[in-house]
A and B are shown apart, each in its own frame.
Chain A
Amino acid sequence: MNKAVIVPLESYRLAEYAVPIVCYICQGENLHDSEFCRYCFAPMALAHQVNGQKVQPRMVAVVGASGVGKTVYLGMLMDMLSRQAGRLQLLARGAFSITLQQSTLASLARGEFPEKTPNEPDRWNWVHCQIRWPRLRHPMELIMPDMAGEAILHEVDHPHSYRVIRALLKKCEGAMVLIDGLKLRQGAIDQDYFTMKLISYLGELQEDPKESWSNRPVAMVFTKADQCDAWMADPASCARNHAPRLWQQCRERFRKYRFFAARVAGYCAWREMPGQRRVQVPLRIEPHGVVEPFEWLLEQLV
């Protein structure tokens, strides 16, 4: 005996797949339920959030070599800005935007620095936030990814190898370039060269002179300034003395740039663990100069 059953034809589901969702970073077309862009591996949550609002988010890049402190800086910046009311305030948009802040602060609370950011773009943390500031008439939507330094260097050395980095840097309206102040003071030249390469890469990125990076604001931030007070006092002079090539490049390539120094840890020490390599531990958390570069950048963007 045949039994009659009712099977709903949910054809609207097919219609959803017929309309592509455009990745906000690389403009690649994706399915409506993709978690990451199939071309650049940026989270598609950004595109979904952008689609639901009138104001297009602006993007700021936080770049620097591996181990320079991008994750700690961004995590701490978010934490500081999300606490203060009235002045410059940050509101995370979407749960994924809080992961970076959460993991960074959890590590620091345990007396550790966060682990390395993996090279794979689909494992990076992205921050989509709303900035509220008395100087802004309307809240500003901002996107900032925490990219791996190795991936940035690979893209700089071999352009087009990381589509997400190239697409992001093309769209960014400003950048914070982090440089390891401690290494520079110790005489290591790799930070100097890495930053010069990066500046050179940015200079070649846009063909249209109007859109070139020479017109975009760049904050050069010397990190780990806890171990060199002179950096905190006068970062521009220190840049001239310790990184003359970088200083010269900035003068020639950018119209809007400024040197800053920042620190998150008050002091660091090395902990010897049995059977393990030495692990660097922050002895106390005393953020200083973290907000200033960001605030300056916003001033330039307004």
Chain B
Amino acid sequence: MNSADSGGRAERIEQAVFTSAETDRSAGYQVVAASPGLNEHDARQLALWCPSHDALLQPGPDASSLNFHPLPSGSYCVSRTTPAGWEYSGRGGLRVYTQCLVVPRPVLARFANNPFALVRAALSKGVIRCYQKVPPRLERIELPGRAAVVDKPLLAQLAAQLGADWLGALVQAALRPGRVAIAGGPPAEQVIAGLINCLPVACRTELSFSTGLKYSSQRPFRVVALPDDTEEHSRVNQQYEVRVLRLAEPPPAGCAPTDPWPLAICRVFSSGRISSLAAWLNSHQGPFAPEQLSTLAAQLSEELQRTLKDAGADDSGLPSRAGRQQAHAAHPRFQEGAVRAATLDSAPPVPSSWLKRIDPKVLTKLEHLDDLVFAAIAGSPAAMEQFKAVWPQLRFELDEELLAESREQYLRYALAIWERCISPDGTRNASLAIQSLDMLCMLFEDA
């Protein structure tokens, strides 16, 4: 076997479907189909980890859960659980359907060890789907592409919803031993995705999670979601020694971040320097020993301090208006002293452009544009009107390169908003979609 073959194999994703069906082997919940290369030990583990009847937290046909856990072979299982029609046996109830992707380490690494990014890519390629009649043999998957180390719009949104203290507390709870359950606040999928984004790339695979499954001792996920039910919180906390974080309430005193990395994350969010975090994480993707996390946290804090100082922050740590970066961080390359995050999914920038200093007037205009666009996409008619008024002038004044990057960030933000605006009954807010589309049409006109 030559190295090219072994390399190709390492890049292939095996898959399996776990659901309730009647097959030649047995009836009920089982691995009903798998791709030919699925390891026997992995298949057994999938049968133990995958959820069965009535395991989804949310009732109804639109519930879903994204799950992530390690496998004996060293690969990782990234799975998506959804209801899929009715139980085959005619006993009533919805059939729970889980598609598992067995992802080798190198492939997950391409997606910055972020299962959410991998699932997004798989969904967009159409390889995650629900078969009404599952074929007995599934194909291996090849998933090209890569992902940015940090989803900045997501972090910006979470920072606005939860605040720096909660994010620091979440990171601390996730990094300490023991299991964590989150309840209330923003959707669990969003919170856990944000949590992953706050961790160094090498740490991310340690965090097994499910975003929408009922709690079960059979599935020892590190991070789980719970329904907004205080009795259930107490039960899970007492019986299973799971730390429950109620995100709709202020963070309790005992949860305040004290460990170096969560403290550094807290500082990042309180100063609005998400781009600095992204740049730093991007340049520190290599493996490290767990005890080195404190050293890395110190380095991140130093970097943050330096960036704040360069940007003209006052002694309190808050940057001045001119140097302050917006939470959504549309323009990371234009902060003084900050090295642009060489994100994996973007073309390598011209080195000279990293160092060029931006005119403070232009920076102010960009920030103003950011404010208007984000407010308009969020549904503010006043911001939309103001945007219509200033956009022709700004488009004329701003550099083409700056505009292109801004457009890209706005598009990503709009898509992120669209993906996360599903109401509990599964419907999307049409007016929000129209507002976003209007904005994008104006932004990309003549682009």
Q: Which residues of A approach B to under 8 Å, CB–CB?
A: 33-36, 38, 41, 65-67, 112-123, 148-150, 153-154, 158, 161, 190, 194, 270, 276-280
Partner of A34, one of B26, B30, B88, B239: B239
Query: Are B91 and A277 in touch, CB under 8 angstroms?
Result: no
Cβ of A74 to closest chain B Cβ, rounded Å: 15
Cβ of B131 to closest chain A Cβ, rounded Å: 15
Query: Are A67 and B52 in touch, CB under 8 angstroms?
Result: no
Cβ of A198 to closest chain B Cβ, rounded Å: 12
Interface hits, B214-259 → A, CB 8 Å:
216-219, 235, 238-239
Complex CA gap A35/B47 in Å reads 24
Query: Are B20 and A120 in touch, CB under 8 angstroms?
Result: no
Contact residues in A for B30 (Cβ distance below 8 Å): 150
Contact residues in B for A119 (Cβ distance below 8 Å): 29, 52-53, 218
Query: Are B91 and A66 in touch, CB under 8 angstroms?
Result: no
24 residue pairs A–B, Cβ–Cβ below 8 Å: A33-B238, A35-B239, A36-B217, A36-B239, A66-B28, A66-B29, A67-B28, A67-B89, A114-B91, A116-B28, A118-B54, A119-B52, A120-B55, A120-B216, A120-B217, A122-B217, A123-B216, A148-B29, A154-B47, A161-B48, A190-B25, A276-B86, A277-B88, A279-B92
Query: Closest chain A residue to B235 by CB distance?
Result: A35
Query: Are B52 and A38 in touch, CB under 8 angstroms?
Result: no
Contact residues in B for A276 (Cβ distance below 8 Å): 86
**A-B pairs, 3 with minimum CB distance:** A66-B28, A277-B86, A280-B90
Query: Are B28 and A149 in touch, CB under 8 angstroms?
Result: yes
Complex CA gap A67/B88 in Å reads 10
Complex CA gap A33/B239 in Å reads 7
Contact residues in B for A279 (Cβ distance below 8 Å): 86, 90-92
How many residue pairs at the A-B interface have CB separations less than 8 Å? 105
Q: Which residues of B approach A to under 8 Å, CB–CB?
A: 20, 24-30, 44, 47-48, 51-55, 85-93, 216-219, 235, 238-239
Partner of B91, one of A116, A118, A148: A116
Contacts A35-B235, A116-B91, A122-B218 given: A66-B53 contact, CB under 8 Å? no
Contact residues in B for A38 (Cβ distance below 8 Å): 217
Query: Closest chain A residue to B25 by CB distance?
Result: A190
Complex CA gap A197/B192 in Å reads 42
Complex CA gap A148/B55 in Å reads 14
Query: Are A115 and B91 in touch, CB under 8 angstroms?
Result: yes
Contact residues in A for B20 (Cβ distance below 8 Å): 116
Query: Closest chain B residue to A154 by CB distance?
Result: B47
Contacts A36-B239, A67-B28, A190-B27 given: A116-B217 contact, CB under 8 Å? no
Cβ of B394 to closest chain A Cβ, rounded Å: 51
Cβ of B134 to closest chain A Cβ, rounded Å: 15
5 extra interface residue pairs, beta carbon distance < 8 Å, beyond A149-B28, A153-B28: A66-B27, A120-B216, A148-B28, A190-B25, A277-B86
Cβ of A17 to closest chain B Cβ, rounded Å: 12
Complex CA gap A202/B134 in Å reads 33
Cβ of B201 to closest chain A Cβ, rounded Å: 32
Query: Are B52 and A120 in touch, CB under 8 angstroms?
Result: yes
Query: Closest chain B residue to A162 by CB distance?
Result: B48
